[in-house]
Amino acid sequence: MASPTLLLLFTATLLLSSYGYGYGASESVSSAVDLTAVDFDAVLRDTPATHAIVQFYAHWCPACRNYKPQYEKVARLFNGVDAIHPGILLLTRIDCALKVNIDLCDRFSVNHYPMLIWGKSSEFVNGSWSLHQGIGEMRPIDNGRTGDRLLNWINIHLNSTYGFDDEKKEESVLLTKVPNLRQVQIS
* Residue 43 CB-density burial (10 A; 0-12 exposed, 13-18 middle, 19+ buried): buried
Select which of 61, 84, 98, 158 is catalytic. 61
Q: Is the dihedral of CA 47, 37, 118, 166 positive or negative?
A: positive
Select which of 6, 32, 53, 64 is catalytic. 64
Let me know if 64 is a catalytic residue. Answer: yes
Total residues belonging to the chain:
187
Q: State yes or no: cis peptide before 114, omega within 30 of 0.
A: yes
- Cβ-contact 75, 91 below 8 angstroms: yes
Catalytically active residues are 61, 64
